[in-house]
A and B are shown apart, each in its own frame.
Chain A
Amino acid sequence: MSKGFWDVINTLDRRIIFLILLVCVTLPLLLNVGGEIRPTPPVRRAHAAVASLEAGDVMLVSIDFDATSAPELMPMLRSVLRQAFEKDVRVIMLGHIAIGLPLGHMALEEVAAEYGKEYGVDYVDLGYRPGYIAVMIGMGREIRDFFDSDYQGLQVEDLPVMDGVHSYADIDLLFGFEHGAVIDYWVRYAQARFDQRMAFGTTAVMAPDAYPYLQSNQIEGLVGGLKGAAEYETLIGRPGLGTRGMPAQQWAHLLVIGFILLGNIGYFVTRRNRG
Chain B
Amino acid sequence: MGSPVVTIIGTWLAGFLTLAILSFLYKDNPFYKLAEHLYVGVSAGYWLIYVAFFDVEPMLIDTFMTETGVEKWIILVPGLLGLIMLSRWFPRTAWLSRWPIAFTVGIGAGLGITANLQGYVIPQVEATLIPMTGWNLVTLSNIVLVVGVVSTLLYFYFSKPHKGVLGGAARVGVVFIMISFGASFGYTLMARISLLIGRLYFLLHDLLHVLD
A residues sitting closer than 8 Å to B (CB atoms) are 15, 18, 21-22, 25-26, 29-30, 32, 68-72, 98-99, 127-130, 133, 137, 149, 151, 184-185, 187-189, 191-193, 203-205, 207-208, 212, 215-218, 224-227, 241, 244-245, 248-249, 252-253, 256
The residue that B194 contacts in the complex, of A15, A98, A193, A226, with Cβ under 8 A, is A226
Is B47 a contact of A99 with CB atoms below 8 Å?
yes
Is A70 a contact of B198 with CB atoms below 8 Å?
yes
**B residues near A225, Cβ cutoff 8 Å:** 187, 190-191, 194
Is A208 a contact of B180 with CB atoms below 8 Å?
yes
> From DSSP, what is the main secondary structure of chain B's interface residues?
helix
Measured CA separation A215–B124 after assembly (Å): 9
Is B119 a contact of A192 with CB atoms below 8 Å?
yes
Measured CA separation A207–B180 after assembly (Å): 12
Known: A129-B55, A188-B115, A217-B127. A226 touches B187 (CB 8 A): no
Residue of B nearest to A191 (CB): B119
Residue of B nearest to A250 (CB): B193
Measured CA separation A187–B121 after assembly (Å): 12
B28 an interface residue at 8 Å Cβ cutoff? no
**A residues near B183, Cβ cutoff 8 Å:** 208
6 contacts between A and B (CB under 8 A): A22-B196, A29-B211, A192-B119, A204-B191, A225-B190, A252-B193
Measured CA separation A127–B189 after assembly (Å): 32
Is B197 a contact of A71 with CB atoms below 8 Å?
yes
B residues sitting closer than 8 Å to A (CB atoms) are 25-26, 43, 46-47, 50-51, 54-55, 58-59, 108, 111, 115-116, 118-120, 123-124, 126-127, 145, 180, 183-184, 187-191, 193-201, 204, 210-212
Is B193 a contact of A29 with CB atoms below 8 Å?
no
Expressed in whole angstroms, the minimum distance between the Cβ of B84 and any Cβ of chain A is 17
Most-contacted residue by chain B among A98, A191, A212 (CB, 10 A): A98
Is B190 a contact of A249 with CB atoms below 8 Å?
yes
**A residues near B123, Cβ cutoff 8 Å:** 192, 216, 218
Is B118 a contact of A253 with CB atoms below 8 Å?
no
Enumerate the 10 nearest inter-chain pairs by beta-carbon distance, A residue then B residue, closest first. Answer: A71-B198, A188-B119, A192-B119, A216-B127, A204-B191, A226-B194, A188-B115, A245-B197, A204-B190, A204-B187
